[in-house]
Amino acid sequence: MTNTLLILPGDGIGPEVMAEVTRIIDWFGARRGLRFDVTEDLVGGAAYDVHGVPLADATMAKAQEVDAVLLGAVGGPKYDALDFSVKPERGLLRLRKEMDLFANLRPAQCFDALADFSSLKREVVAGLDIMIVRELTSGVYFGEPRGIFEENGERVGINTQRYTESEIDRVARAAFELARKRGNKVCSMEKANVMESGILWREVVQKVHDESYADVELSHMYADAGGMQLCRWPKQFDVIVTDNLFGDLLSDVAAMLTGSLGMLPSASLGAPMANGRPKALYEPVHGSAPDIAGQGKANPCACVLSFAMALRYSFDQGDEATRLERAVEKVLADGVRTADLMQAEGAKPVTTTGMGDAILAA
């Protein structure tokens, strides 16, 4: 099977971090016989500058047919005054929506060398490796009715939490499948105590478990208690599955347990394509970082680790993914640090390219 990849570097530090990933992709071809058919294209402000839209139709069509899309970041002050309909972020939203990427995977993994970065005690976070699966295409960010309306002489702001059984079913399956490849444990989080959508969520997740994934350990937790438990003893979790809103909050909390924005990858997965691989978009959690763009200061690790997720989840190359993650781990253990990771004693300061060099050498 060929491995097709669409690379969308985007704006700001996007192209800088993606350049390092491109060298790593070439390394896998030359040294591991793992070849990728790579197409590069524009997204965000970069696409707007050329096409007048943040994602051209031809790019969207290409994204639908490749095995995986790898995106850098979009946005920047240059585009802040643009009309909402052509803002850079809309390019990313269009990709997520039209590819129907319903499962957002946000790992919270703590590299030992960075454990002292956490606001929590080293023993609480060292060795942490959990995965939050956030439902990404439904829930309160999309539900109707929504808007700001007049009612009894004052304004009322309305958003609606709405989930169908099939929407819950498919994200639950994604979480159970992942758990089988990890620690075989899923904790589902909602607010079934105060929300009907939460009652349905809990019922459907339990049903999917009992019918198809009885071998996986399942627990349920109210999302607010889940937030507390994440801060108290995060290692009790393996996979957490939750809705769009709670997932947005909980994944940001979990991310910060482990330190820098420059280290955090993500994947967004949809339904399987004809070749069995899921529709997939991989991107670092961080944005375009206009404050450091063009200065060689960006940490490419988040983007590199996003590519490692692509190796694992799109190309069925778990061992090669681990190889790449180990290389990042070794580099950090050796004290190699981009500016965002600089407080370590005896750190070896490097630029974006220097970090890429070190990862390749490792």
Q: Is 319 a catalytic residue?
A: no
Mapped onto helix, strand or coil, the DSSP state of residue 39 is strand
Annotated binding-site members for NAD(+)? 76-89, 287-299
Annotated binding-site members? 76-89, 96, 106, 134, 224, 248, 252, 287-299
Q: Contact 356/345 with Cβ under 8 angstroms?
A: no
Which residues, listed in sequence order, are joined to residue 289 by a DSSP beta bridge?
none
Q: Is 116 a catalytic residue?
A: no
Residue number with CB closer to Mg ion (89 or 248): 248
Mapped onto helix, strand or coil, the DSSP state of residue 215 is coil
Residues 20, 301: Cα–Cα separation, whole Å? 9
Minimum CB separation from ligand NAI for residue 264, in Å?
A: 9
Residues 175, 104: Cα–Cα separation, whole Å? 10
Task: Kindly identify the residues of this chain, within the stretch 253-312, that bind ligand NAI according to CB under 6 A.
Answer: 261-262, 283, 286-292, 298-299, 302
Q: Is 224 a catalytic residue?
A: yes
CA distances in angstroms from 334 to 108, 319, 329, 330, listed in the order given: 21, 22, 9, 6
Binding mask 2-41 for ligand NAI (x = CB under 6 A): -----------x---x------------------------
Secondary structure, 3-state, 101-132:
CCEEEEEEECCHHHHHHCCCCHHHHCCCEEEE
Minimum CB separation from Mg ion for residue 168, in Å?
A: 21
Q: Is 252 a catalytic residue?
A: yes
The reply to whether 340 sits near ligand NAI by the rule CB under 6 A is yes
Q: Is 248 a catalytic residue?
A: yes
Decide which of Mg ion, ligand NAI, none touches 248; Cβ closer than 5 to 8 Å per partner kind.
Answer: Mg ion
Minimum CB separation from Mg ion for residue 252, in Å?
A: 5
Mapped onto helix, strand or coil, the DSSP state of residue 55 is coil
What six digits make up the tokens of 67? 């095995």
Task: Kindly identify the residues of this chain, within the stretch 48-77, that bind ligand NAI according to CB under 6 A.
Answer: 73-76
Residues 166, 350: Cα–Cα separation, whole Å? 48
Residue number with CB closer to ligand NAI (46 or 130): 46
Minimum CB separation from ligand NAI for residue 177, in Å?
A: 25
CA distances in angstroms from 130 to 51, 126, 153, 156, 183, listed in the order given: 40, 12, 48, 39, 9
Identified binder of Mg ion from the candidate list 248, 320, 334, 357, rule CB under 5 A: 248
User: Interface with ligand NAI by CB under 6 A: which residues?
Assistant: 13, 17, 73-76, 89, 92, 261-262, 283, 286-292, 298-299, 302, 340
> Known catalytic residues?
141, 191, 224, 248, 252
